[in-house]
Structure 1
Amino acid sequence: MIRRHELSDAEWEFVRPLLPHAASGRKRLDDRMALIGIVWKFRTGSAWRDVRDRYGSWATLHTRYRRWAADGTFERMLRAAQAKADAARAADWMVSVDSTIVRAQLPGAQKSGLRKP
């Protein structure tokens, strides 16, 4: 049974080729488990230090996240997912941007000499 935040086998097979190849050397946390831990962190809104031990060390996950963000791994994943959705005609790319402006008055602004225009 797959837990809510984990990748299915099909999802993993889709993203696996997009991940950078690990350099040889000492044994490291499996990329799938690292990606699941990173997804869990962002889906739950938890701090890095609060990531569950079952996903590996929070420091390892944070380092892997920073490396993958810096080398464009997540951008490659996004572009590949968008291309797959386009090919299947499964996505509607209409975008709506809210341009509402909210003016704020700082507390104590009158006392400090700041005035409304």
Structure 2
Amino acid sequence: MVMLGGIAMTDLLLLSEAQMRRIEPYFPLSHGIARVDDRRVISGIVFVIRNGLRWRDAPPGYGPHKTIYNRFVRWSRLGVFNKIFAELARKAGKPSRLMIDATHLKAHRTAASLLKKGLFPDVSGARKAA
């Protein structure tokens, strides 16, 4: 068993070859310099996002955290992940179960004054005070 930074290589989440074949058609072409191992870096992105980690907390087995972060940002701006998710969702068909996230956000106390200042559109349909 190979150890990288205290983590066994078998403990890393790596996308399978079949999973990589499904998403590879959506990867942008490499221009000039060959990219670092796509499987390792994409698996690192999935691991960080799935576990809610900071990029710097990615296990070293996925490569430098800066590489993982840069690939995520660059491909996000190009819409690569949106295309992959849309295609995978389309091929999956109709879901048998839908889930609702109950996450909520706190608004800063100054957010209440945005409507009064006209910086936030009023879509409530409520009558305005004279």
Normalization by structure 1: what TM-score? 0.69
The runs of at least 4 consecutive aligned structure 1 residues that moved more than 6 Å come to none
Gaps of 5+ in 1: 107-117
Paired position in structure 2 for 1:10? 18
Q: Is the 8 A contact 1:37 1:51 kept in 2?
A: yes
2: CA distance, partners of 1:22 / 1:39? 21
Q: Percent identity?
A: 29
Give the residue type in structure 1 aligned to 2:59: R
Structure 2 residues not aligned, in runs of 5+: 1-9, 110-130
Question: What CA distance in whole angstroms lies between the structure 2 residues aligned with 1:30 and 1:47?
Answer: 21
Q: What does the per-residue CA deviation read over 1:37-91, in whole Å, with 9 as the maximum and x for residues that have no partner? A: 10111112211111111111100110000011100001101111112112xx5x2
Over 3 Å counting, the alpha-carbon distance change for 1:93 and 1:82 in structure 2 is farther
Q: Distance in 2 between matches of 1:37 and 1:9?
A: 15
| Amino acid corresponding to residue 82 of structure 2 in structure 1 | E
Counterpart in the other structure of 1:37: 44
Are residue 51 (structure 1) and residue 61 (structure 2) matched? no
Match of 1:70 among 58, 77, 84: 77
TM-score under structure 2 length normalisation: 0.63
Q: How do 1:18-37 residues align onto structure 2 when only pairs under 5 Å count?
A: 18-25=26-33, 27-37=34-44
What displacement does 1:95 show?
Answer: 6.6
1:5, 1:43 within 8 Å by CA — same for their partners in 2? no
In 1, distance between residues paired with 2:59 and 2:100? 36
Query: Number of residues paired by the alignment?
Result: 98
Q: CA RMSD in A?
A: 2.9
CA contact (8 A) 2:12 2:61 kept: no
Residue in structure 2 matched with residue 113 of structure 1 by the alignment? none
1:5 offset after TM fit, Å? 2.6
Partner of 1:111: none
CA contact (8 A) 2:14 2:39 kept: no
